Amino acid sequence: MILFDTHAHLDDEGYDADRDDMIQRARAAGVAHIVNVGYDLESSLRSIRLAEKYDLIYAAVGVHPHGADEAEPGYLEELEKMAAHPKVVALGEMGLDYYRDLSPRPVQLKVFQEQMALAKKLKKPIIIHDRDAHGDIMELLREEGLGPSGGVMHCYSGSWEMAKECLAMGFYISIAGPVTFPNAPKLKDVAASVPLDRLLIETDAPYLTPVPHRGKRNESAYVAYTAKEIARLRGMETEDLARLCAENGRKFFRIA
């Protein structure tokens, strides 16, 4: 089986004791590629270092809405420098988070808009974080428009109606471990309905661990459980679903 974990945070300190072993488990499970995603300047640099160390890892660089109010003057210039690295395949994660509201909403919006503009300038795809902010996310996307390099709605949690609008804008939809939870009918419906050529899968490790490991630390090997559940929902073989999602990931992130 060929798998692509399109969104993980393997630089997290929770992996410090066994990171090499964890990545080897991912390889053994069939994971061919992982995109490690930054959430501030430091984690973005760590993502690049991981990508330099491991051939299967690529990096995304960006500022998460939680840290928007800590984005100092010059942060865009730093992101632009990092984005020039040959293994940086996207900008993100960026977006809005109204669930925890760790940064003032106007600041979240400003930093999101600034990163979207940078991505258009650099012709890089974007990775969007959206938690309990569907209305403002969609309004901003309608106003700003998606750049020519496209984008992905990471760890999708919206409705099928919203997904259809995102797809019409040119987005990919990425599904994470919660699709395996028994109390996720809306997400299961989305996962069964997204066109196969616009579907991605991810772990968001170390978070959102799928069944049967829910409650424990997530890791890239577990993206296989997400693939298995989506394949079940669509009446497909898991290997076929995984292969198609991996092909989509390589196309989206422009990985040969």
- pLDDT tens track for 101-143: 999 999 999 999 999 999 999 999 999 999 999 999 999 999 9
What pLDDT sits at residue 62?
A: 98
**193, exposed or middle or buried, with CB in 10 Å at 0-12, 13-18, 19+?**
middle
| Percentages of the chain per state (helix, strand, coil), in multiples of 5 | 50, 20, 30
What pLDDT sits at residue 206?
A: 98
- pLDDT tens track for 4-14: 999 999 999 99
- Of 59, 10, 13, 34, the residue nearest 201 (C-alpha): 34
Residue 22 CA to residue 84 CA, distance in Å, equals: 28
What pLDDT sits at residue 54?
A: 98
- pLDDT tens track for 160-207: 999 999 999 999 999 999 999 999 999 999 999 999 999 999 999 999
Note the Cα 157 to chain centre separation in Å.
Answer: 12
User: What pTM was computed for the model?
Assistant: 0.98
In the chain, domain spans:
3-253
The residue assigned the tokens 């992101």 is 79
User: Domain 3-253 belongs to what topology?
Assistant: TIM Barrel (3.20.20)
Give the chain's mean pLDDT.
Answer: 98
What pLDDT sits at residue 143?
A: 96
Q: How many other CB atoms are found less than 10 A from the CB of residue 215?
A: 7
Residue 169 CA to residue 145 CA, distance in Å, equals: 8
Number of Cα atoms under 13 Å in the Cβ half of residue 22 = 22
- pLDDT tens track for 9-55: 999 999 999 999 999 999 999 999 999 999 999 999 999 999 999 99
Confidence of residue 215 (pLDDT cuts 50, 70, 90): very high
